[in-house]
Amino acid sequence: MSEHKSTEPSKTTHFGFKTVNEHEKEKLVAGVFHSVAAKYDVMNDLMSFGVHRAWKRYTIEMSGVRTGHRVLDIAGGTGDLSFAFSRRVGPTGKVVLADINESMLKVGRDRLADRGVAGNLDVVQANAEVLPFPDDEFNVVTIAFGLRNVTHKDVALKEMLRVLKPGGRLLVLEFSKPTNDLLSKAYDTYSFKALPVMGKLVTQDADSYQYLAESIRKHPDQDTLQQMMYDAGFERVTYHNLTGGIVALHRGVKA
């Protein structure tokens, strides 16, 4: 009697505009950020003309983080938000900088050490879909420019809800959909023409910034992400468009 072999096809997902097997995406995304980690902050300033700093300041203000809070900064990369949060929570609070990518974490850890951050901050390599933290652990969870790289966004959102304390807040800062047609067309031209050229000049890697432009287009729009957060169990979900909807900040609360 011959052995039965499963004919179930491998599940696929998108990596930018390409279709890949789900198990491949994590490795491909890791390769992107390993390639650009050393110049990540320089490229952020160039790509956004420095405006990403204002987007992050707005996120920090909307978070409501205060002294003694516990904060999880998912996909925290080079540590911009973690640094600001560590100053806000003070010595009685705790900030966890989490990222799936080892290269990004190393850059973040070194930057934070250079800036004198120590006692109230931990650095953890973690997958947003399987967070290594107990239930009801954090007052605030943030994920800035990271959700679009997650394969199963619904799973990750439920994990973020799980680790929040009741009454805790999730803030998702992410590229989104421009609200004006003219701005959208100009943004498309900039994204697909200028970004890969910048990436090649600064990081010797045009492909990673081509992926960046493509991954933004595949990310759910504002209303879709709002509904996804409701579906995951969040309440009072709102969003605020920034820079004409090029970026949006979504905010949800755990009951």
DSSP string covering 26-76: HHHHHHHHHHHGGGHHHHHHHHHTTTHHHHHHHHHHHHT--TT-EEEEET-
Confidence of residue 4 (pLDDT cuts 50, 70, 90): very low
Surface-to-core class of residue 249, CB atoms within 10 Å of its CB (0-12 exposed, 13-18 middle, 19+ buried): buried
CA distance 26 to 100: 9
Tell me what pLDDT residue 24 has: 67
In a domain, 1, yes or no: no
| Residue 103: strand, helix, or coil | helix
Give the range of the structural domain holding residue 138, as residue numbers without chain letter. 22-179+209-253
pLDDT beyond 50 at 68: yes
Distance, in Å, from the CA atom of 231 to the CA atom of 19, rounded to the nearest integer, reads: 25
Residue 228: give its domain's CATH number.
Answer: 3.40.50.150
Note whether residue 97 is domain-resident: yes
Cα-Cα-Cα-Cα torsion 101, 103, 106, 112, nearest 10 degrees, comes to -80
In a domain, 213, yes or no: yes
Residue 77 lies in a domain: yes
17 belongs to a structural domain: no
Q: Is the pLDDT of residue 226 over 80?
A: yes
**pLDDT confidence band for 21 (50 / 70 / 90):** confident
Residue 78 marked in a binding site:
yes
CA distances from 63 to 69, 95, 109, 171 (A): 11, 13, 23, 7
Q: How far apart are CA 224 and CA 246, in angstroms?
A: 15
Q: What is the pLDDT of residues 90-110, one digit of tens each?
A: 999 999 999 998 888 888 888
Q: How many domains does the chain have?
A: 1
In a domain, 55, yes or no: yes
Residue 92 within a domain? yes
Pick the closest to residue 215 from 130, 151, 142, 126 (CA basis): 151
pLDDT band at 10 (very low <50, low <70, confident <90, very high): low
Within-domain flag for 8: no
59 is in an annotated binding site: no
